[in-house]
Amino acid sequence: MTEDKSPKKDIDIKKYEDPIDLSPKNLELGLWLANHRRQIYKLIVIILATVATGFLLYSGYGYFYYFVFGWEQDKILEQDTSGIDLAAYRAQNIPIDLLYSQAQIISNNTGSDFVAKIKNSNEKQYASFNYCFTSGTEEACGSDFILPNEEKNIILINSQIKAASGPAGLEIKNVAWQKLKAGDIPDWNAYKAERLNFSITDPKFSSYGDSVNYLEFSVTNNSSYSYFTVPLDITISQNDNIIALNRYVIQGLNSRETKSIRLSWPEAANLKGTIEVKPNLNIINSNLYKPYSAN
């Protein structure tokens, strides 16, 4: 083979013309980065290691200082309550006890119904509880809930206790308090109004060809929420004295939906009084609501 004896020309990169308009400065920068990539990699590693070491030393110093000095200071603070009114703090966070009226027993054809008014005066706490109505040595028990700042009836229907209508005993027990989470429910009144927006239309008794008396009314869900079930507490009152009780559960009530209810209740048809129908919904329980896709 013969060697190429032609003289070699020095290449001036500045005179290079690239078809894609790549500037000489970019070529020089790229060439410099390629030639110094090892040094750049080492510099980055050194910087990151320095930063990590600094954080490690700082956190180590913090732990050391706490175990040497902070531990004892915490013990002193725990023992020194001179600047903290613990009694006032506890008093502000202890819920006010539930108040309830004299329970009443209402005799019916098969047994007895029970009712009592209960009130929760706490504005930011709600409760679930167990209760037992008593008549003589017999008792009928159940469970219920009460929302913040709510007054409602505790109703127990169709118990097997045979007794005449009149006063009854009531025991409230196992009260479990829960505080509203401000992040989830910043405005309780607005939250309640949005979810308990129901219209109960014209409850009245009607008789048809079968001579059976029915209580009829319609329920409209004006809220933006749909419910799997909507329990309704029904009372008939004379001068604020409840003389008849019933309960009806609507299976599925979607947003903006109206349902017509016909309830067979012959023993109450001839009673003269005010008929009241109220939803008994624990609107804080998320399991109550249908997902939007189920509407």
Question: What's the mean pLDDT in 64-83?
Answer: 69
d(CA 130, CA 41): 69
Give the pTM. 0.68
Question: What's the mean pLDDT in 185-191?
Answer: 95
CA distances from 285 to 8, 210, 256 (A): 87, 41, 21
Question: What's the mean pLDDT in 158-173?
Answer: 93
Quick count: other Cβ atoms within 10 Å of Cβ 119?
14
Question: What's the mean pLDDT in 226-242?
Answer: 95
Given a contact cutoff of 8 angstroms between Cβ atoms, the answer to whether 77 and 96 are in contact is: no
Q: Which residues contact residue 3 at a Cβ distance below 8 angstroms, ignoring those fewer than 6 apart? A: none
Is the confidence at residue 16, as pLDDT, over 60?
Answer: no
Question: What's the mean pLDDT in 103-111?
Answer: 90
pLDDT of residue 24: 65
pLDDT in tens, 41-70: 888 889 998 998 988 888 888 878 777 777
Return the axis-axis angle of helices 24-35 and 37-65, rounded to nearest 10°: 60
CB-neighbour burial class of residue 227 (10 A; exposed 0-12, middle 13-18, buried 19+): buried
pLDDT of residue 211: 72
